[in-house]
């Protein structure tokens, strides 16, 4: 899961004697939505990149179980986002940014879910607490303030076309995933020939939206919220990663660390009842534990 907004570019100071044109041009540039987003979310972007989950991921320190949970979070997030984008595809504040063929990720994520979970993935996958809150916000925006969908779409898709491509290579290398793309279909944009050019085109479309400054500022505020939701998901995944690192399976059961009542552990109880374990139950455990811990 990645989010990416470029750092701001330096702007030369205007000369003391000026016709006023350069200053006007600079004011117009900074009023562009893409520039407002870049400047207005820089701090949140930096904090998101500094979360432990992202830092570990970039170092290749990620286990397949955790990557599977991250893919699950992406599936629920993009299912919500693209449902609301479809709902608002004709809304004047969003229609110019509606590129389902080029950008939509749900279909790709379904393939990844099938790869990790198998054919009955829909019965197995669970939405974690942090992801649920993110999804609820997306649905609220789509149904009540559709102009703010711009913030969520921009934050997610531009990151996928940028930093997400780095994460794809890291995941394939660290998890020994097939180079043919199984398990990382999410990162493959088959209908985008040149990611950099498409991002420039997307920003130009954003800047051309007929929005007043107040609405643009609300979009920047919503983009910061989107970063916060992503960070909550990252932190939740980091908790799951810590649990995965600490748990040592012995005879089909995790070794208890002495903290708390082992009988209250949903995984332990479930395994006592069933007398065994499956990979699904392991992932289900961490999803449950995350919801309990939230």
Q: Which two tokens stand for residue 164?
A: 């997400």
| pTM for the model | 0.78
Look-up of token digits 């995965």: 244
- The total of other beta-carbon atoms located within 10 Å of residue 199's CB is 19
Burial of 5 from C-beta contacts in 10 A (0-12 / 13-18 / 19+):
buried
Distance CA 128, CA 286 (A): 9
What is the predicted pLDDT for the residue at 74? 98
pLDDT confidence of 1, banded at 50, 70, 90?
Answer: low
pLDDT of 197 over the 90 cut: yes
Q: Which two tokens stand for residue 264?
A: 């209250």
Cα–Cα distance list, 172 to 58, 71, 149, 185, 200 (Å): 12, 14, 31, 11, 28
Homologous superfamily (CATH) for 33-247: Heme oxygenase-like (1.20.910.10)
Residues 193, 106, 117: CA angle, nearest 5 degrees = 120
What is the predicted pLDDT for the residue at 250? 39
3-state secondary structure of 7: coil
pLDDT tens readout for residues 90-140: 999 999 999 999 999 999 999 999 999 999 999 999 999 999 999 999 999
Q: What is the mean pLDDT of residues 242-248?
A: 72
């Amino acid at each position: 899961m990645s989010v990416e907004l470029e750092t701001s570019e330096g702007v030369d100071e205007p000369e003391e004697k000026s016709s006023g044109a350069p200053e006007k041009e600079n004011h117009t540039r900074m009023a562009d939505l893409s520039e407002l987003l870049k400047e207005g979310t820089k701090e949140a972007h930096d904090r998101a990149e500094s979360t432990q989950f992202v830092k570990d991921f970039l170092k290749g320190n990620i286990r397949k179980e955790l990557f599977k949970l991250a893919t699950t979070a992406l599936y629920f997030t993009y299912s919500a986002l693209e449902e609301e984008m479809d709902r608002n595809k004709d809304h004047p504040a969003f229609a110019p940014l509606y590129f389902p063929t080029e950008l939509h990720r749900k279909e790709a994520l379904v393939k990844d879910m099938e790869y990790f979970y198998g054919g009955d993935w829909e019965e197995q996958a669970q939405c974690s607490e942090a992801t649920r809150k993110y999804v609820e916000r997306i649905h609220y925006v789509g149904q009540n303030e559709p102009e703010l969908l711009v913030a969520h779409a921009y934050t997610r898709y531009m990151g996928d076309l940028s930093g997400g491509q780095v994460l794809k290579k890291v995941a394939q290398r660290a998890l020994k995933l097939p180079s043919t793309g199984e398990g990382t279909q999410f990162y493959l944009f088959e209908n985008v020939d040149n990611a950099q050019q498409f991002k420039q085109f997307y920003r130009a479309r954003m800047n051309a939206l007929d929005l007043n400054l107040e609405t643009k500022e609300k979009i920047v505020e919503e983009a910061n919220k989107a970063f916060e939701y992503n960070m909550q998901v990252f932190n939740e995944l980091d908790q799951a990663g810590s649990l995965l690192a600490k748990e040592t399976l012995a005879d089909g059961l995790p070794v208890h660390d002495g903290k708390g009542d082992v009988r209250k552990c949903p995984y332990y109880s479930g395994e006592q009842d069933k007398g065994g374990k499956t990979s699904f139950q392991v992932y289900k455990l961490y999803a449950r534990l995350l919801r309990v811990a939230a």
